[in-house]
Structure 1
Amino acid sequence: MPKVGIIYNDIKPIANEAAHSLCDRLKAMNHEVCLATGVAGILGYSQAGKPVCHTPIDSLVPPGFDQAMDFAVVFGGDGTVLSAFRQVAPKGIPLLAVNTGHMGFLTEIYLNQLNQAVDQVIAGKYEIEDRVMVRVQLYSHDRLAWEALCMNEMVLHRQPLTSMCHFEVRVGNHAPVDIAADGIIISTPTGSTAYSLSAGGPVIAPGVPVLQLIPICPHSLASRGLVFPDSDPVTVTSANPESLVMVVDGNAGCYVVPSDRVRLARSPYSAKFIRLKSPEFFRVLREKLGWGLPHIAKPTSVELP
């Protein structure tokens, strides 16, 4: 019996309804269906002064989601998609992302296309697009205290955000550098269209095997974005006495004290997106972010009176 998973944002009625409707349809087609919410992939935030709760990456996989699962469908916005990939990436399960949110930059289809899209996937008429994911780990006194899978970016800043902070960053085996800024962003190519884009970083096509480091409001004309191979691990420590706040993909985070170190490295797990036609990144940029659209009226040949 074919096995399919469904992950949905249970606080959105439209996603809840669509998920259970698809579940009934798949069961009527003699498919085994496993349902899960996207909440399990949202790791939450630790609280200052309390021990960091270490949730191992592999423990986020929902019950029943395993290598025998043909594919999974996720209903929600980009936040739910990010959460869902934390849950299924360790098992290599491909996801069909259905937009029930707003922008839906990471989603493949809209809700009114669902039935046709699912039939196409069941028939095997789709492609898999692999997106790199990063393992973010916090070490406290050389003990692993917190970790998460990251598909967009890791942001490290001091509270309040407008305060200046000094970060010591080591990329691979290169000498460490000191960055004075409100914070730093380390993003994947997928995350290059998210927070790092707003902070002045470049857009990077998904297939390029790189990461990028973007200072947030740096206090130096010499501090600019850096693009480097994703095979190089990154270690970040604080050069300030105050604690920092680390946020991963905008929905998980923890406090980082001066004696801690943050380590990022390419994960062996990847995000497997189901694409119903060949991926066309520039089209998505144009449709979602308006990239490349003409913004100045072009002259036309008009006869003057």
Structure 2
Amino acid sequence: MPTGFDSRVEFAIVLGGDGTVLSACRQLASCNIPLLTVNTGHMGFLTETYLNHLSDAIDLLLADTYTVEERVMLSVQVVRDDVVLWEALSLNEMVLHKEPLTGMCHFEIEVGQHARVDIAADGVILSTPTGSTAYALSAGGPVITPDVPVLQLIPICAHSLASRALVFSETEPVEIFPAHSEQLVMMVDGNAGCYVSPADRVRIHKSRYAARFIRLSSPEFFKILREKLGWGLPHIAKPASVELP
């Protein structure tokens, strides 16, 4: 239990947007504390309720009328000579790229026991299903519902038509070797990161900790996609039925 948290804490309330929620998940996942996420930001894709509904939400919590949804997290490590130099938890994604993000890099990547592959791109993203609606989606990856036990690897602006998003089991560890002579930048969930030198490798695997979200009603992922991203909304009028002669 991190300093400042009592072991008797039953839940935490997070006020903010998605960035605040991501940061709170990294800090509290190891405590096994479920989070009630309250949107005071812009998108609020990861939030459960709004500030003007907080009083009602707390009443439901105190009445024990809620469920807890678990989301897979990643353990991300920078390793040199088998020594871990830096590590963090990730709920959305790990991104590795050149600084600035304007030039091609080569990455040698191992997924589980499969043969190492070479990818030439401006960067690479390793995403969870939760992160599939974030940077991974902007980079051309598919949306993955949170209950599917997979991860996805996405090249950023790949320099080959053969390099496309790869979806694989969440049980497969991943190692990324920067085949590049210059220092790279790694970001985790958009608000934590470090530099990665040519002598380093990035090691990612499913974390033993999960993000735990309090749900006040049954989760409806497609509804969230529709409300936040406009998925499935009609953009043109449907053709009127025509009676054939």
Cα contact 1:184–1:214 (8 A) shared by 2: yes
1:262 is aligned to 202
2:211 is aligned to 271
1:161 is aligned to 101
Once residues 189 and 267 of structure 1 are traced to their aligned partners in structure 2, the CA distance between those partners, rounded to angstroms, is 14
Report the AA paired with residue 162 of structure 1: T
Q: Secondary structure at 1:107's aligned position in 2?
A: coil
After superposition, what is the alpha-carbon deviation per residue over 1:227-250, rounded to whole angstroms, capped at 9, x for unaligned? 000101000011111111000000
Q: Secondary structure at 2:65's aligned position in 1?
A: coil
1:80 and 2:26 are equivalent in the alignment? no
Deviation, 1:65, is 4.3
1:115 is aligned to 55
2:154 is aligned to 214
Look at both structures and tell me which one has the larger radius of gyration over its CA atoms: 1
1:63 and 2:1 are equivalent in the alignment? no
Unaligned runs of 5+ in 1: 1-57
Where do 1:213-292 residues align within 5 Å?
A: 213-292=153-232
Give the number of the structure whose residues are more often helix, by fraction.
1
Once residues 242 and 65 of structure 1 are traced to their aligned partners in structure 2, the CA distance between those partners, rounded to angstroms, is 44
Q: Secondary structure at 1:70's aligned position in 2?
A: coil
2:128 is aligned to 188
* TM-score (normalizing by structure 2): 0.96
Report the AA paired with residue 63 of structure 1: G
Q: Secondary structure at 2:76's aligned position in 1?
A: strand
Moved over 2 A (4+): 298-301
Q: 1:210 to 1:65 in 2, by over 3 A?
A: farther
Cα contact 1:71–1:95 (8 A) shared by 2: yes
* TM-score (normalizing by structure 1): 0.77
Once residues 75 and 83 of structure 1 are traced to their aligned partners in structure 2, the CA distance between those partners, rounded to angstroms, is 11
Deviation, 1:163, is 0.3
Deviation, 1:299, is 3.9
Once residues 286 and 90 of structure 1 are traced to their aligned partners in structure 2, the CA distance between those partners, rounded to angstroms, is 32
After superposition, what is the alpha-carbon deviation per residue over 1:255-305, rounded to whole angstroms, capped at 9, x for unaligned? 00011010001001000000001111001000000000001112458xxxx
2:85 is aligned to 145
Counting aligned pairs with the same residue, the percent is 67
Higher relative contact order (CA 8 A, sep 6+): 2
Q: Secondary structure at 2:27's aligned position in 1?
A: helix
Q: CA RMSD in A?
A: 1.3
